[in-house]
Amino acid sequence: IITRGTQLKRALSFSPFLILSFPYAMDISQLNRDNTIILFDVDGTLSKPRLSASAEMLETLTALRNKYQIGVVGGSDISKQMEQLGGDCLARFDYFFSENGLLAFRDGQQFHKESFKSFLGEDRLKTFINFCLHY
């Protein structure tokens, strides 16, 4: 199922979110922590851009986590995400992806870390940066 989560949204009085679950033929009533991960962006979804999430939002996420696995995917670095979601944010989410996935956590433990420089190599990175600066 890929859905905007309208039924759950009404039940939780929550902003629209995307539910990804497999198999696709699954009935929405069968969604649970074992088969569903709900991923959120931070800015504009969990909080207003560049501001902290409200206490009400954090309480709602806690309630949601009792039923489903939840995660964050964002472009900001981990320190900015902690400012917005609280210093304990890694413990609040099952999955946490910073810097567009360059840094990844599951259950509060880092399981992936990459950098553009190590991925591309210094020469390719310089070429890429110069290309971007040209435009």
State the amino acid at position 126 in one-letter form.
K
Q: Which of 43, 94, 107, 123 is catalytic?
A: 43
43 has catalytic annotation: yes
Q: Which of 41, 88, 94, 107 is catalytic?
A: 41
Q: Which of 81, 122, 87 is nearest to 101 (CA)?
A: 81
CA distance 109 to 81: 16
**CB of 128 within 8 A of CB of 120?**
yes
77 has catalytic annotation: no
Which residues are marked as active site?
41, 43
